[in-house]
């Protein structure tokens, strides 16, 4: 149960629709603390919305949820202004859930900045994606530990889950991670990122090779592969630091957008 105002349990609900002109507009919005959105910007290729948080990041007891609906034929990109800081949580964890609904013919890009896990942070995060026929969705998911001036201290736990389903409920992708700062330190993993894309993008010839070349330029250790059932592509990234990760993500997103057969 959230301590803050919600609508159907969510602090953020954005519904996008297609205008008679063919453009995309924000048809309906519910935005409550801690969220704030910028005025949607139409770059001629779709609508861009920057999502901001007025809070200090995630603290214990937070229960945040957001829902984004890309209506038929819309083109929407949601980015966050900055990384999400997860602070020490001695008594309770924090939970954030995002649901994306991409209706037929829509293209939706969910590109939040990374989750930064401070010592003692305990976070459960989930991304639920529902893809209708003819829709394209791209999502980013990344996290990194940060000792915040306390060398040797680690975040307590991270439970992260990305579930992608077709509109008939068929499970397409399940990326479920359970880890801790101590485990990460032992494994030598510094910064971890995932960029996934499902829909017609899977059929774009040569895109996987293009993305492999693009992500390598960042200097990160990365790989690209087709998702189960050839429903899309996934890029996994291990970077030395947040800056390298940001370059990798930007390079991948730009390469997808510029690919001649891409609809994203």
- Pick 31 or 227: Cβ nearer other proteins: 227
Going by their DSSP bridges, the two strands 35-37 and 47-53 should be labelled as antiparallel
Contact of 55 with 87, CB cutoff 8 Å: no
Quote the least distance from Cβ 217 to other proteins, whole Å: 15
Chain centroid to CA 16:
18
Whole-angstrom distance, CA of residue 55 vs CA of residue 89? 16
Footprint on this chain of other proteins (rule: CB under 8 A): 171-179, 183, 187-189, 192, 209, 212, 221-229, 234, 236-238
Whole-angstrom distance, CA of residue 97 vs CA of residue 34? 14
For 222, residues 6+ apart whose C-beta sits below 8 A from its C-beta are 212, 215, 216, 235, 236, 237, 238, 248
Quote the least distance from Cβ 162 to other proteins, whole Å: 10
- Pick 176 or 261: Cβ nearer other proteins: 176
Quote the least distance from Cβ 252 to other proteins, whole Å: 13
Conformational region of residue 152, where left means phi above 0, alpha means psi within -120 to 50, and beta covers everything else: left
Quote the least distance from Cβ 150 to other proteins, whole Å: 24
Quote the least distance from Cβ 235 to other proteins, whole Å: 8
- Pick 76 or 195: Cβ nearer other proteins: 195
- Pick 79 or 99: Cβ nearer other proteins: 99
53 DSSP β-pair partners: 35
- Pick 173 or 253: Cβ nearer other proteins: 173
């Amino acid at each position: 149960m959230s301590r803050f105002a919600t609508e159907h349990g969510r602090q953020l609900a954005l519904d996008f629709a297609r205008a008679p002109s063919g453009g995309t507009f924000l048809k309906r919005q519910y935005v409550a603390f801690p969220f704030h959105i910028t005025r949607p910007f139409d770059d001629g290729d779709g609508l861009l919305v920057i999502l901001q948080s007025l809070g200090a990041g995630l603290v214990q007891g937070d229960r945040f949820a957001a829902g984004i609906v890309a209506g038929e034929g819309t083109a929407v990109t949601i980015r966050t202004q900055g990384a999400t800081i997860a602070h020490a949580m001695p008594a309770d964890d924090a939970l954030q859930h995002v649901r994306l609904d991409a209706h037929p013919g829509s293209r939706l890009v969910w590109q939040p900045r990374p989750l930064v896990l401070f010592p003692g942070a305990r976070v459960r995060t989930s991304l639920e994606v529902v893809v209708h026929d003819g829709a394209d969705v791209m999502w980013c998911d990344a996290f990194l530990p940060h000792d915040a001036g306390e060398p040797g201290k680690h975040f307590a736990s991270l439970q992260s889950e990305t579930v992608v389903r077709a509109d008939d409920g068929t499970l397409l992708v399940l990326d479920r991670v359970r880890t801790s700062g101590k485990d990460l330190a032992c494994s030598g993993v510094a910064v971890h990122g995932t960029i996934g894309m499902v829909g017609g993008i899977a059929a774009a010839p040569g895109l996987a090779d293009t993305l492999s070349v693009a992500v390598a330029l960042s200097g990160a250790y990365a790989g690209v592969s087709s998702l189960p059932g050839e429903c899309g592509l996934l890029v996994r990234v291990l970077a030395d630091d947040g800056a390298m990760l940001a370059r990798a993500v930007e390079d991948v997103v730009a390469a997808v957008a510029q690919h001649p057969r891409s609809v994203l």
